[in-house]
Every structure is written in C-alpha cells, then in structure tokens.
C-alpha cells in the first residue's frame, strides 16, 4: 500500500518509523516531513493546510491511506475532502474534530452525555464573562474556545488576574481562538493521557501516557507542547481504564455517532484523576506529541493494517493491538528560548551514538544544513528508550541524551519523576 503521512514533528517521525516497518508498505510519502522522517519516507514539499494540493497528490500517486498527524488540517476539513475523493484517511471529519477544535463544543457534549468533567460556562461576550466569574471560585480556569497551539488556557489565582485574562482573550490576545471563552471550575488531581482508536462504532483502548507540560524541572515555568512523556502511565490502573472507557470514551463515541458526527481516528483524552474518579479535561483529535513517540516505541504489530481498519470502519474485525509490557520514556530536547522564540541553526551531533546505545531519536524541529542536522524549531528531538521499569527507561533515555551534543539545546532532567517516586516508595514498602 502507498501511504501519505501528513505532518513534520516528532509525532510524525515516530509514526513514519512504525509505518515503514509494516510489511504492507510499498511506498511512504510525507508532507512535508523532516530530515528524520526522510530516513523512512520521500518528503514532499506540500503544506498540510493546502487541502486541494494534498487531495490531488493523493489521487495522482494512488495513495491507499492518508495518515494525518496534526490537528489543524483535521479541524479545517482535510479528512472530509479526501473521503469525498475516495481516498482512505485515518483522522476524523471536520465535524468530529470539533472535539478538539472547540472546547465549548466538547463541554456541551459532556453535559448532554453526562460525561464527568469540570463545571463550566461558555461566553461570547466580555461583559457576560466578567460577570460570570461570580459563579466560580479561585483559582479559575479560563480557556480560549478554539485552537491555540496549547497556549489558550490560563489559570488565574486572583479575581484581578482572571479579569485581565478575559480582557486579553476578548481583546484578541489569542487571535480568533478567543472570540469565545469557556470558564471552568478548577479540578485537582494528577493528569494522564489516554488514547482510544475508534471507527465510530467499535472502540479499542490504545494505551496511556503521562506528559510533562511545564518547561522546567519540577514542573516549573511556562506550559509547552510537552517536554517528555512515558507510557504506560502507571496511575491509569485497569480499574481506572475501565471507568474511562465506560464513563468518558464510550458515551462520547456513541453520542457523536447518534448526532450524525461519527468519530473515526484516534481519540486522545486528557484526564484529571480526581478524588471522585477520572474526569475529562479536554479531547484531542490526533495522537499526542510526545505521547505518540512512547506509544509507537511500545506498539507491536502492523500499524498500516490497524490504521486502515479504523479508516475503513472495520475495527471490529481488527486484531487487538499489542503493546510491549515495557515502559517507554521520551525526553524532549528543545532549542534555547522555547516555548518563546527558539534559537534556530544550532548544530546537533551524536544522534548515531545515542541510537547505537539502544535509544530512538525522533526528530521534530530539525533541518539539514550543509549535510548536518541543525535546530529549526522549538522542540527539536525526542530521545526515546524502553526499560523494564520507569526508572530503567529513564536511565536509558538520559544515557542517550548524554550522547547528544546540542550546545544551544536544553531538556528537563526529571521526565517520569512521579512514577519513579512511586516505584521507589513501592521498593521501600
């Protein structure tokens, strides 16, 4: 099968690596790809948001399956256009991708389907939002409704800061994403990511992970797209997974189908594990980055067959995907300045040495200059290793990080710390 992968990040490098191992693959294209992806695919200089060109390319090259990595093309309707032209695609329709594209849409769906989540109100008007703050305690959670590259959430501790955040959102501080605002009750607990594949009818759990969103060690500093992750997330016990499937994922898939917006693709639930049980923070309509890197490191099987079964609506007949029992852990190496403006052009050496030591180095924001890999974005590498415990995977990943020479880069030193502390406590008990 000829496969076209859409995207250019570490998530897509991990997908490309696994797609390239499928015996069914005859040719892999990536649009636009990156130097790491180029080891597995022919990279095509096409903008993922240029829907007509992507559709034309897929048709002309007899692409049998399009795998869409990032959310923006899905929210803008890429999957609909491909399906309309008879091209098989892994990824939800524009209507179904509203689960990520509009936070208010998802909160209303939760209300209709009785899905546990934080109490909320939607506002399209600044004065109403300011008055609406009265219904919430502090801290309070204020979100721009639309896509904001992970930056549209603020959690003010004071009323004055909450009012300033509302002023900023309605003042255009988050672009059109902030034309509508959701105010939410603040939930406390530990966060986890949960993934399920669905073709709109059948649902298959696809593993858990824990991301590290803050830029600094000890979960300090501003939020990022994710500085590292590990899978499985040990706090997502089989009991919690069963509740997440029954109380959150299944009612979502059933309600979307019943309302004429069947969801096909991967449903990524951001969860808060509260004292009352798991609650939904938000949905994403694609794999996480860097969560995908650790899921792919554990996945065993033919990725093309699985994703094609989802795309064709035949998930019920697909073999249950197997995931290695080992833990996978990934450390993101970012360019100085991230999550602000990253320093571009910094040289990177030692990727081969890191891989020789048994790790996988997935490339995200990289470019090739004079035959050398250089930094070309905020998150640059995702250094990924496996082990029999979180500690073992952490040691292996950091040993590989040490082998990489990236003077203008930085990374967190404590990826997996919550699980490592739990392992230590269990050893002492």
Residue with tokens 């008990």: 429
- Of residues 80, 184, 247, 289, which one binds ligand GLY by CB under 6 A? 289
Backbone dihedral angles phi then psi of residue 156, each to the nearest 5 degrees: -70, 145
- By a kind-dependent CB cut-off of 5 to 8 A, residue 291 interacts, out of ligand AMP, ligand GLY, none, with ligand GLY
Closest of 73, 147, 167, 136 to residue 103, by C-alpha? 147
Return the structure tokens found at 346: 């910094």
- By a kind-dependent CB cut-off of 5 to 8 A, residue 410 interacts, out of ligand AMP, ligand GLY, none, with none
Residue with tokens 């309605």: 170
- Residue of minimal CB distance from ligand GLY? 226
- By a kind-dependent CB cut-off of 5 to 8 A, residue 225 interacts, out of ligand AMP, ligand GLY, none, with ligand GLY
- Say if CB 209 and CB 78 are below 8 A apart: no
Question: Per CB under 6 A, which region of 41-49, 121-129, 184-192, 198-206 contacts ligand AMP?
Answer: 184-192
Q: Which is nearer to ligand AMP, 71 or 184 (CB)?
A: 184
User: By CB neighbour count within 10 A (0-12 exposed, 13-18 middle, 19+ buried), where does 101 fall?
Assistant: buried
Q: Is 76 in the site for ligand AMP (CB under 6 A)?
A: no
Q: What is the DSSP string of 107-176?
A: HHHHHHHT--B--EEEESSHHHHHHHGGG--SSEEEEESS--TT--EE--SSHHHHHHHHHHHHTTTTGG
Q: Is 191 in the site for ligand AMP (CB under 6 A)?
A: yes
- Of residues 6, 15, 141, 261, which one binds ligand AMP by CB under 6 A? 141
Question: Per CB under 6 A, which region of 283-291, 302-310, 383-391, 393-401 contacts ligand GLY?
Answer: 283-291
Question: Per CB under 6 A, which region of 40-48, 72-80, 284-292, 352-360 contacts ligand GLY?
Answer: 284-292
How many C-beta atoms lie closer than 10 Å to residue 136's C-beta? 20
Q: Is 284 in the site for ligand GLY (CB under 6 A)?
A: yes
Residue with tokens 């130097």: 35
Residues found near ligand AMP in the complex (CB under 6 A): 118, 141, 150, 153, 184, 186-187, 191, 213, 270, 281-282
Site residues, ligand GLY (CB under 6 A) = 150, 211, 225-226, 284, 288-289, 291
């Amino acid at each position: 099968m000829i496969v076209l992968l859409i995207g250019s990040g570490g998530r897509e490098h991990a997908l490309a690596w696994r797609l390239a191992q499928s015996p069914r693959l005859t040719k892999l294209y990536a649009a636009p790809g990156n130097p790491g992806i180029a080891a597995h695919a022919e990279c095509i200089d096409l903008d993922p948001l240029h829907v007509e060109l992507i559709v034309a390319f897929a048709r002309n090259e007899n692409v049998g399956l399009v795998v869409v990595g990032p959310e923006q093309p899905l929210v803008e309707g890429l999957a609909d256009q491909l399906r309309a032209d008879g091209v098989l695609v892994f990824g939800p329709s524009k209507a179904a991708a509203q689960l990520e594209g509009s936070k208010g849409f998802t909160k209303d769906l939760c209300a209709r389907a009785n899905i546990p989540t934080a109490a909320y109100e939607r506002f399209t008007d600044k004065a109403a939002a300011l008055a609406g703050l009265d219904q919430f305690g502090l801290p309070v959670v204020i979100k721009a409704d639309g896509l904001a590259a992970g930056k549209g959430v603020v959690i003010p501790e004071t009323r004055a800061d909450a009012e300033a955040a509302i002023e900023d959102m309605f003042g255009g501080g988050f672009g059109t994403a902030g034309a509508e605002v959701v105010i939410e009750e603040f939930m406390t607990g530990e966060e986890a990511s949960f993934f399920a594949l669905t073709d709109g009818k059948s649902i298959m759990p696809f593993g858990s992970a824990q991301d590290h969103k803050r830029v600094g060690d000890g979960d300090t500093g501003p939020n990022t797209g994710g500085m590292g992750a590990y899978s499985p997330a040990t706090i997502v016990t089989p009991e919690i997974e069963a509740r997440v499937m029954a109380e959150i994922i299944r009612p979502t898939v059933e309600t979307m189908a019943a309302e004429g917006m069947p969801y096909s693709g991967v449903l990524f639930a951001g969860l808060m594990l509260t004292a009352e049980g798991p609650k939904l923070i938000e949905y994403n309509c694609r794999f996480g980055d860097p969560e995908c890197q650790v899921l792919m490191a554990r996945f065993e099987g033919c990725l093309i067959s699985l994703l094609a079964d989802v795309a064709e609506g035949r998930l019920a007949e697909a073999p249950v995907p197997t995931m290695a029992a080992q833990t996978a852990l990934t450390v993101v190496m970012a360019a100085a300045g991230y999550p602000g403006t990253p320093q571009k052009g910094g040289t990177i050496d030692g990727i081969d040495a890191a891989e020789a030591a048994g790790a996988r180095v997935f490339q995200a924001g990289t470019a090739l200059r004079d035959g050398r890999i250089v930094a070309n974005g905020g998150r640059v590498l995702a250094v990924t290793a496996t082990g029999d415990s979180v500690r073992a995977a952490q040691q292996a990943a950091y040993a590989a990080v040490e082998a990489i020479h990236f003077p203008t880069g930085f990374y967190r030193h404590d990826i997996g710390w919550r699980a490592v502390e739990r392992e230590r406590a269990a050893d002492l008990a």
